[in-house]
Amino acid sequence: MQESGFKKRYILLGLYLLAVMLPLYWLLNMSFKTNQEILSGLTFFPQTFTLDNYRLIFTDAAWYSGYINSIIYVVMNTAISLAVALPAAYAFSRYRFLGDRHLFFWLLSNRMAPPAVFLLPFVQLYSSVGLFDTHLAVALAHCLFNVPLAVWILEGFMSGVPKEIDETAYLDGYTWPRFFTTIFMPLIKTGIGVTAFFCFMFSWIELLLARTLTTVEAKPIAAIMTRTVSASGIDWGVLAAAGVLTIIPGALVIWFVRKHIAKGFALGRL
Amino acid sequence: MAEIHLKNIAHSYRENPQSPADYALKPCDYFWQDGGAYALLGPSGCGKSTLLNIISGLLQPSEGQILLDGRDVTRSSIQDRNIAQVFQFPVIYDSMTVYDNLAFPLRNRGVEATAVKQRVREVAEMLDLGDILHSRARGLSPDAKQTISLGRALVRNDVAAILFDEPLTVIDPHLKFLLRRKLKQVHERHQLTLIYVTHDQSEALTFADQVVVMNEGQILQVGSPQELFEKPAHSFVGHFIGSPGMNFFDCELVDGHALIGSQKLRIHHGGCAQPAERTQIGIRPEFLRLSDSAGDHSLPVMVESVQDLGNYQIASGQLEGRPVKIKLDEEQAVGTGPAHLHFAPEHTRIYLDDWLCEAKP
Amino acid sequence: MINKTDNNRAWLLVVPVVVLVAFSAIIPLMTVVNYSVQDIFDPQTRIFVGTEWFREALLDERLHGALGRQVLFSLMVLLIEVPLGIAIALCLPRRGPWVSFCLILLALPMLVPFNVVGTIWQIFARADIGLGGWLMTELGFDYNYTASPLDAWLTVLVMDVWHWTSLIVLLCYAGLLSIPGAYYQAAQIDGASRWAIFRYIQLPKLTNVLVIGVLLRFMDSFMIYAEPFVLTGGGPGNATTFLSQQLTTLAVGQFDLGPAAAFSLIYFLIILLICWLFYTAITHLSTR
């Protein structure tokens, strides 16, 4: 069975990966072209290789601050989500308490709330507490969908850790905070890594809230990309280069968690 | 049922095995008789799982052939061999009922529905699975799951042999006994060829007619439990089987005596005096006796401690600076201190380079 | 499953989450509810209108259209991504030097921001400067996503499949890895066909991860906004105008706060209802 299926499997896999990579390649290819070349016809490789598109982005503060803003609120969001979700997930995985199941479903229901629903209330809310156009506003807004998800994923991993470990630690005289940080968290580090990955991912790719809650100071790169559209048409080269640059932080994150992807994505639910 | 012949089988996980150490299974030639109950015994990593996987067809041996009733199946697929296997951890199909689990091997082979029904009922009755036949397999206890695995092996009436890979590992101790008895009953009633892999000697000795002892990829001895006990073919077998294991003393053989340190023990060693790198005499703790007076086959010993283990006692001591263990009746009163150790001459064995040397009369 | 102990002090551990999510969810939700029952001319002039906005929203043709397109889209997304994801996961090697390489390539699209996904496909699918559009034209298709509603639809669908199938692949792959080798060996000994191995060994092990995958994919596809917005702005016509975009047009574009709020609540309730039904059905099935 292994040998006969061998070839066909890998052909299908190869074709799929090729299909996944082609659009990305095309973006990369265009980012190294001049606009004249892009518009003059289809070329599979840049004929006149140029770094001008990237130079423009890296020298214009309006451009590169977009990246910095995005990275700041994404990191803030990931940290906040993990910090509050870890103890909560522990409570859900270990204890029965008043209203636990309703609370869990209510939390999850927030993951299901379309950002578009909360658009206007958020603007009013954050304006009234003076957070509008700050990184914190976006980070907090993204908590709406990331915290429930983080609790959900972490709860799965934590349920896989035998309860005897907790009990032994308490018998050995550990306090809860010390047990949790020095014994428990290392046991679920794959889970924490995967949760961080999901939080990073959903915060990084979200546009609607990030764009609406910011105007200047904390404007994300995704919103700045609309600048390439002007009266004279679209600056395709810069648009492509900006697109390529939004993929790089994600690629780095994937590189860091690559060892955990294979098993960690089971999310502890097997 | 069939007779299995392993013809010069050897296996290495390396591409080009050079030294014997490269072999996970060193060359061997062996017959498994039709209807025999065999145990494959050895410590973990000794090659017993490799041997088992070669028989079942999960692994292709790098050398040699496997013959089932004279038919060469070395290159045959697992399905064509008709060999069933029960694994260490119970493998059941979670989403099916117990009935469907048992019927699965038959349905896959296109057996018609009425025959399936009849066969499954027979097997379920044999294994006392009747009560749970229509419940989901998922929530059952490990022993019930393992019984179902056994049932899937038994349900086919064309199986050549059933292989067991440490099947009782995850079973509660008090249920192990029950499951083993069930297995024994099945064997007696149906005369199946059973090969049972284990590292637990009591499991092997109670289950099997013939025990195959392996170590470091090599079959060291094949024999009945009694033979393994009385005449271990290799010092490893002596150590591994029996509790406590056999006593061994390095010695020199000089005309009718074994020289252990400065002491001389009278021993019959006709034909075993050839040069060897290591000469030892071995004797089981059961065949040693302690007394206050010296005798024909005795040596002075220093008894250091005596342990009462219920219906027998184990005395530990030193003989010429070498540790020795003696198994005693519970009644015998023994104190620590110097004593005389008597060797039963008919059970004193000579080992040359770890292999048993049978002295000629 | 762990035996949980009763302990109401566990609430202390949950308080931070509750406070944080309540801040981000309850206050805004109350605002939405508040709007949905009032007619607001300016901050000082508000009139209570009861369920009028709800009735209006429920009868709104545009909402019906967007809802219909949305349900069809989410359904197709699931019907394509789930089987395709499982198939690709089955194709992946279980070990070896290529595993990491394949996983990294697969994970890459997931971390592309929504609007950049739109941009990538906006470029890629153009017949003049994009490889995909050019290929379609070369192959003889009359393909133009800015003019043909069907082409636009298919492009948004392909875009979502490109973006998110990897999530299903990775979840399933992790599920497959957790199956001990003995199961496959036992299946071979039992003479199981390739299909039987999939149906009785692999698929049951995938249920748990698939529930998560399907729920996530359903929720997110039901909230799709940026991709069609960037690609065609919801056009041509309103062929790719889904619920989120319809809502933002109403709320931000026309500033009809009352109807938009009523619309929001209906929208939210639909997602909740479908997720709840799905989740109950699955847990019911698996405990039967």
State pLDDT tens for residues B86-133: 888 889 998 899 999 999 999 988 889 999 999 999 888 888 888 888
C175: nearest CB among A38, A95, A266: A266
Phi, then psi, of B86 in degrees rounded to 5: -115, 125
Contacts of C191 (CB under 8 A, 6+ apart): B79, B105, B108, B109
What does the alpha-carbon distance between residue A49 and residue A58 come to, in Å, rounded to a whole number?
A: 18
C111, C247, C269: best mutation site toward chain A, by most A Cβ within 10 Å? C111
**Selecting from 2.40.160.40, 3.40.50.300, 2.40.50.140, 3.40.50.150, what CATH number does the domain B243-357 have?**
2.40.50.140
CB pair distance less than 8 Å for C171 and A222:
no
Contact between residue B55 and residue B83 where contact means Cβ atoms under 8 Å apart = yes
Residue of C nearest to A137 (CA): C24
**Selecting from 3.40.710.10, 3.40.640.10, 2.90.10.10, 3.40.50.300, what CATH number does the domain B4-222 have?**
3.40.50.300
Instruction: Tell me if residue B163 falls in helix, strand or coil.
Output: strand
> Is a pLDDT exceeding 60 seen at residue C264?
yes
Average pLDDT (B187-206) is: 86
Phi, then psi, of A241 in degrees rounded to 5: -65, -40
Number of other residues whose CB lies within 10 A of the CB of residue A246: 23
Average pLDDT (A89-96) is: 90
What does the alpha-carbon distance between residue A158 and residue A185 come to, in Å, rounded to a whole number?
A: 9
CA distance C112 to chain A (A): 6
CB pair distance less than 8 Å for B108 and C190:
yes
Average pLDDT (A54-76) is: 89
Nearest to B19 by CA among B231, B217, B309: B217
B85, B86, B93: best mutation site toward chain C, by most C Cβ within 10 Å? B93
Copy the structure tokens of residue B218: 């090599």
- Which sign, positive or negative, has the C-alpha torsion B162, B214, B268, B325? negative
Please provide the size of chain A in residues: 270
C124: nearest CB among A9, A23, A247: A23
What does the alpha-carbon distance between residue B253 and residue B275 come to, in Å, rounded to a whole number?
A: 10
> Is a pLDDT exceeding 50 seen at residue C116?
yes
Number of other residues whose CB lies within 10 A of the CB of residue A120: 22
Residue with tokens 């029960």: B86
> Is a pLDDT exceeding 80 seen at residue A268?
no
Alpha carbon separation from A203 to A149, A223, C163, C235 (Å, rounded) = 12, 14, 15, 27
> Among the ranges B171-175, C45-49, C251-255, which has the highest mean pLDDT value?
B171-175
Contact between residue A221 and residue C119 where contact means Cβ atoms under 8 Å apart = no
Average pLDDT (A211-230) is: 80
Q: How big is the B-C interface in CB pairs under 8 Å?
A: 50
Residue with tokens 């994009």: C130
Instruction: Tell me if residue C243 falls in helix, strand or coil.
Output: helix
Number of other residues whose CB lies within 10 A of the CB of residue B134: 10
Burial of B157 (0-12, 13-18, 19+ CB in 10 A): middle
What does the alpha-carbon distance between residue C224 and residue C241 come to, in Å, rounded to a whole number?
A: 10
Average pLDDT (C1-17) is: 80
Copy the structure tokens of residue C185: 């060996």
Q: What is the pLDDT of residues A165-182, one digit of tens each?
A: 988 998 888 998 999 999
Average pLDDT (B5-25) is: 83
Q: What is the 3-state secondary structure (H, E, C) of C197-248?
A: HHHHHHHHHHHHHHHHHHHHHHHHHHCCCHHHHHHHCCCCCCCCCCHHHHHH
- The conformational region for residue C66 under phi > 0 = left, psi -120 to 50 = alpha, else beta, is alpha
> Is a pLDDT exceeding 80 seen at residue C209?
yes
CB pair distance less than 8 Å for B93 and C200:
yes
Domains and CATH numbers, chain C: 60-287 (1.10.3720.10)
- Which sign, positive or negative, has the C-alpha torsion B23, B26, B27, B31? negative
Per-residue confidence band for C60, with pLDDT thresholds at 50, 70 and 90: confident
What is the pLDDT of chain A when averaged over all its residues? Answer: 87
- Which range among A191-200, A224-233, C53-62 shows the weakest confidence by mean pLDDT? A224-233
> Is a pLDDT exceeding 90 seen at residue A73?
yes
Contact between residue B15 and residue B51 where contact means Cβ atoms under 8 Å apart = no
> Is a pLDDT exceeding 90 seen at residue A83?
yes
Per-residue confidence band for B189, with pLDDT thresholds at 50, 70 and 90: confident
CB pair distance less than 8 Å for A114 and C267:
yes
**Chain C contact for A115, CB < 8 A?**
yes
Q: Tell me how far the alpha carbon of residue A239 is from its chain's centroid.
A: 21
CB pair distance less than 8 Å for C225 and A207:
yes
Q: Which fold does the domain A60-264 belong to in CATH?
A: MetI-like fold (1.10.3720)
Beta bridge partners of B161: B83
What does the alpha-carbon distance between residue A263 and residue B355 come to, in Å, rounded to a whole number?
A: 48
Average pLDDT (C114-140) is: 87
pLDDT at C108: 92
What does the alpha-carbon distance between residue B100 and residue C192 come to, in Å, rounded to a whole number?
A: 13
C1, C91, C166: best mutation site toward chain A, by most A Cβ within 10 Å? C91
Average pLDDT (C95-112) is: 89
Contacts of C188 (CB under 8 A, 6+ apart): A1, B58, B77, B78, B79
Contacts of A128 (CB under 8 A, 6+ apart): none
Beta pairing class for B218-223 and B247-250:
unpaired
CB pair distance less than 8 Å for C115 and A225:
yes
CB pair distance less than 8 Å for A122 and C28:
yes
Per-residue confidence band for C170, with pLDDT thresholds at 50, 70 and 90: very high
Q: What are the chain C neighbours of B56 within 8 Å (beta carbons)?
A: 185, 189
**Chain A contact for C214, CB < 8 A?**
no
Q: How big is the A-C interface in CB pairs under 8 Å?
A: 294
Alpha carbon separation from B329 to B284, B285, B310, B348 (Å, rounded) = 15, 12, 10, 20
Residue with tokens 């047009």: C249
> Is a pLDDT exceeding 80 seen at residue A26?
yes
Q: What are the chain B neighbours of C185 within 8 Å (beta carbons)?
A: 56, 58, 78, 85, 87
Contacts of A54 (CB under 8 A, 6+ apart): A31, A241, A245
State the DSSP H helix or E strand holding residue B265, giving kind and residue range, or none if neither.
strand B263-266
What is the pLDDT of chain C when averaged over all its residues? Answer: 86
Q: Please state the domain extents for chain B.
A: 4-222, 243-357
pLDDT at A3: 47
**Chain C contact for B85, CB < 8 A?**
yes
pLDDT at C144: 85
Instruction: Tell me if residue B158 falls in helix, strand or coil.
Output: coil
> Is a pLDDT exceeding 90 seen at residue B35?
no
Per-residue confidence band for B203, with pLDDT thresholds at 50, 70 and 90: confident
Contact between residue B66 and residue B72 where contact means Cβ atoms under 8 Å apart = yes
Q: What is the pLDDT of residues B287-304, one digit of tens each?
A: 998 888 888 888 889 999
CB pair distance less than 8 Å for B87 and C196:
no
CB pair distance less than 8 Å for B108 and C191:
yes
Beta bridge partners of B164: B86, B196
pLDDT at C288: 53
pLDDT at A2: 45
**Chain C contact for A40, CB < 8 A?**
no
> Is a pLDDT exceeding 70 seen at residue C133?
yes
pLDDT at A270: 62
> Is a pLDDT exceeding 70 seen at residue C271?
yes
Q: What is the pLDDT of residues A118-145, one digit of tens each?
A: 888 888 888 888 888 899 999 999 999 9
pLDDT at A1: 40
Average pLDDT (C98-114) is: 90
pLDDT at C173: 93
